[in-house]
């Protein structure tokens, strides 16, 4: 059975196992949020705030710099892979091992053990990351308590194989609609085929040359793709509508308006009757030029990589806080039945962050 309290004296690997055995599927994070809050309230050096099932903690040491360590406490649905299981070779198996209870364990260990950090620290534990964006706890904090996300630099402990992934690309999804006129397909000259009218859109997509953009030494790779196409009424009817859903993934040198303007330009003169923005999340600059970021890079080592997918780092970026992904989990194992994590990477991550925050 799930334990009722968390033991922050264990190392981050053992603590990860304890967190995995504490089921917290999106929407059902209360028990784990309670346990995290209870454990953190034992620590005298931290100010604690509970907001829904989000738990916030920070030091108030008056340092000139503040950094934020953030992570989500929810997981995708359990698929027979809880409780956790530790192999002899140090592999820990179970739902959330990589995404991202290993990261949360590192956050908790830093909170518990780095009582006199060289920079002020804010810890954010949030809910509902694995579900619709409007439920995302970090989004709620950004809206309701932006002061708790303020800082010079933020680290999101999402799975990144222990590599630093800087910034993130933006993602814009638009619906391109062509229209025609219905008719019986036996008398097709009476109608106008909206699916045929989508040919120029697909031609434009097939011919598109995506940009590669270098920022802070990181090469971002864009993409412009149809992710869906649909049209048709019945097997004997000329379609009067076709919708191509296009996803533009863009480098962080573009703002949201510039990205949308680019897409409009690409599909100008393609016979698009209507262009509707279905979804839009801006990009985030890596911000590796900041001194706190430079010190972080020196401590964790390695070569930073660009982040192609959209992540919650952009919620920090939108508030003017440069942010990176850096966590012990393996992203390619996230959401899988055979999800697992290398416990050595958890310990390494814990050690590198401690080094950055104490040296």
- Would you name the residues annotated as active-site residues? 74, 129
User: Can you tell me which of 9, 30, 228, 273 binds a copy of itself, judged by CB under 8 A?
Assistant: 228
Site string for a copy of itself, 192-221 (x = CB under 8 A): -x-xxxxx--xx-xx---x----------x
How near is the Cβ of 146 to a copy of itself at its closest, in Å? 27
Q: Please report whether residue 136 would count as binding a copy of itself according to CB under 8 A.
A: no
Strand 165-166 and strand 170-179: the pairing is unpaired
Q: Per DSSP, what are the bridge partners of residue 173?
A: 247, 279
How far is it, in rounded angstroms, from Cα 319 to Cα 298?
A: 25
**Segment 267 to 326, residues that bind a copy of itself, using CB under 8 A:** 278-279, 308-310
User: Can you tell me which of 61, 133, 214, 233 binds a copy of itself, judged by CB under 8 A?
Assistant: 233
Considering beta carbons, is residue 145 or 229 the nearer one to a copy of itself? 229
Please give the C-alpha separations between residue 125 and each of 80, 168, 210, 307, 335, in angstroms, as whole numbers.
25, 20, 36, 22, 20
Residues 6 or more apart whose CB falls under 8 angstroms from that of 356 comprise: 295, 296, 298, 299, 300
Q: Please report whether residue 223 would count as binding a copy of itself according to CB under 8 A.
A: yes
Q: Please report whether residue 1 would count as binding a copy of itself according to CB under 8 A.
A: no
The phi, psi pair for 169, rounded to 5°, reads -80, 155
How far is it, in rounded angstroms, from Cα 276 to Cα 245?
A: 9
How far is it, in rounded angstroms, from Cα 306 to Cα 111?
A: 28
How near is the Cβ of 277 to a copy of itself at its closest, in Å? 13
Q: Which residue has the tokens 């002020």?
A: 120
How near is the Cβ of 137 to a copy of itself at its closest, in Å? 21
Site string for a copy of itself, 78-117 (x = CB under 8 A): ----------------------------------------
How near is the Cβ of 129 to a copy of itself at its closest, in Å? 15
* Contact (CB, 8 A) for 231 and 179: no
* Contact (CB, 8 A) for 247 and 173: yes
Considering beta carbons, is residue 25 or 226 the nearer one to a copy of itself? 226
Considering beta carbons, is residue 110 or 201 the nearer one to a copy of itself? 201
The total number of residues written for the chain in this structure:
359
How far is it, in rounded angstroms, from Cα 124 to Cα 107?
A: 9
How far is it, in rounded angstroms, from Cα 183 to Cα 233?
A: 10
How near is the Cβ of 302 to a copy of itself at its closest, in Å? 20
- Of the ranges 33-41, 98-106, 125-133, 189-197, which one interacts with a copy of itself (CB under 8 A)? 189-197
User: Can you tell me which of 188, 274, 289, 294 binds a copy of itself, judged by CB under 8 A?
Assistant: 188
User: Can you tell me which of 44, 80, 186, 269 binds a copy of itself, judged by CB under 8 A?
Assistant: 186
* Contact (CB, 8 A) for 309 and 315: no
Q: Please report whether residue 42 would count as binding a copy of itself according to CB under 8 A.
A: no
User: Can you tell me which of 71, 162, 167, 231 binds a copy of itself, judged by CB under 8 A?
Assistant: 231
Q: Which residue, among 229, 224, 220, 227, has the nearest Cα to 208 in the 3D structure?
A: 224
For 35: left if phi > 0, alpha if psi spans -120 to 50, otherwise beta; the answer is alpha
User: Can you tell me which of 38, 247, 305, 358 binds a copy of itself, judged by CB under 8 A?
Assistant: 247
User: Can you tell me which of 234, 261, 268, 294 binds a copy of itself, judged by CB under 8 A?
Assistant: 234
The phi, psi pair for 51, rounded to 5°, reads -140, 100
Q: Please report whether residue 242 would count as binding a copy of itself according to CB under 8 A.
A: yes
How far is it, in rounded angstroms, from Cα 240 to Cα 40?
A: 60
Binding residues for a copy of itself, rule: CB under 8 A, are: 169, 171, 173, 184-189, 193, 195-199, 202-203, 205-206, 210, 221, 223, 225-239, 242, 244-245, 247, 249, 278-279, 308-310
């Amino acid at each position: 059975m799930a334990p009722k309290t968390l033991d922050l004296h264990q190392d981050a690997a053992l603590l990860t196992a304890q967190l995995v055995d504490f089921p917290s599927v999106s929407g059902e994070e209360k028990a784990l949020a309670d346990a995290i809050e209870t454990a953190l309230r034992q620590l005298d050096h931290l100010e604690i705030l509970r907001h829904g099932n989000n738990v916030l903690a920070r030091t108030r040491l008056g340092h000139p710099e503040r950094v934020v360590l953030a992570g989500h406490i929810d997981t995708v649905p359990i698929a027979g892979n809880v409780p956790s299981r530790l192999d002899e070779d140090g592999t820990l198996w179970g739902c959330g091992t990589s995404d991202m209870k290993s990261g949360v364990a590192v956050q908790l260990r830093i909170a518990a053990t780095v009582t006199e950090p060289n920079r002020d620290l804010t810890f954010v534990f949030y809910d509902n990351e694995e579900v619709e964006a409007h439920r995302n706890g970090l989004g709620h904090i950004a809206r309701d308590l932006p002061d708790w996300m303020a800082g010079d630099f933020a680290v999101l402990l999402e799975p990144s194989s222990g590599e630093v992934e800087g910034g993130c690309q933006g993602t814009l999804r638009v619906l391109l609609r062509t229209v025609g006129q219905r008719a019986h397909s036996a008398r097709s000259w009476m109608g106008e085929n909206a699916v045929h009218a989508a040919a120029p859109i697909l031609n434009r997509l097939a011919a598109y040359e995506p940009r590669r953009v270098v920022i802070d030494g990181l090469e971002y790779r864009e993409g412009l793709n149809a992710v869906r196409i649909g049209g048709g009424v019945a097997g004997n009817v000329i379609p009067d509508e076709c919708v191509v859903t296009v996803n533009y993934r863009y480098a962080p040198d573009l703002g949201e308006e510039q990205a949308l303007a680019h897409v409009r330009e690409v599909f100008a003169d393609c016979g698009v009757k209507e262009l509707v923005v279905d979804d839009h999340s801006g990009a985030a600059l890596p911000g590796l030029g900041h001194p706190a970021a430079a010190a972080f890079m020196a401590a964790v080592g390695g070569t930073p990589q660009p982040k192609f997918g959209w992540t919650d780092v952009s919620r920090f970026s939108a508030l003017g806080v440069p942010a990176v992904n850096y966590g012990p989990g393996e992203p390619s194992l996230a959401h899988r039945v055979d999800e697992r994590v290398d416990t050595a990477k958890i310990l390494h991550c814990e050690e590198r962050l401690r080094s950055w925050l104490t040296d």
